[in-house]
Amino acid sequence: MTRGVVAVTGGASGIGLAIARAAAGAGYRVAVADRDRVALEAAREALPKEALFSQLDVTDEARVEGWIAEVSDAATLVGLVTAAGIAADVHVLETSADQFRRILDVNVTGTFLCAKAAARRMRETGGGSIVTIASVSGVRGSKGRAAYGSSKAAVINLTQVLAVDLAADGIRANAVCPGPVETPLVARVHTPETRAHWLAHVPQRRYARPEEMAGAVLFLLDPAQSGFVTGAALPVDGGFAGAGLTAIGR
């Protein structure tokens, strides 16, 4: 018997796929949504046959609501993970208004639409857990992150509002804030110079594996482990967000 269904946006690659695999391994049925049809087909090989797959633009409100309805009709919706997102590493003076709006639309509006649709269903079935994927770039100012950092800071605050507004309905909301992670998105955005800069400032001196994000998400999904945790923003970042001066030359 499954533990209900966990819906994962951006679930066909990177952090989202790692979370979907971990959730399936923990006994949840998983529903994966992603814009990339090719990645969705590849993800079918990595997930159990009972997993659900949908092509989805998280900024399309009607399609988001339809997807959540489809997922909820298949099994009780107990969790939502909003891993869909886009990024850019562009100096603030070179960031266009269109780029800024697009990143906020996907990362913030997309998270909002998915969380709202999922919460409506969860409220009908006794509650659930919403886990947003934010970033340490939303916690601290980082170079080139005018749009991306602003969007992830907004995701953190949105998550706190969700926690407050939905607590009476038995719904918890928490954010995971990754540091640098070896994903296809990061491979596109991080230049060799950017990578060296991260490695110099992350106390553990490495990038994370996507699977290392999944453990934190599973903890926040499971009411037996985190039932009194809501409104939290959990850094999973090798010590970056909390670090001061680190040892010179190490």
The catalytic site residues sit at 148
> Which H/E stretch holds residue 104?
helix 97-104
- The CA distance from 138 to 27, in Å, is 31
> What is the pairing mode between strands 52-55 and 128-133?
unpaired
- The CA distance from 110 to 118, in Å, is 12
- 78 phi and psi, to 5 degrees? -110, -15
- The CA distance from 177 to 132, in Å, is 9
Distance from CA of residue 192 to its chain's centroid? 25
Q: In this structure, which amino acid lies at residue 135? A: S
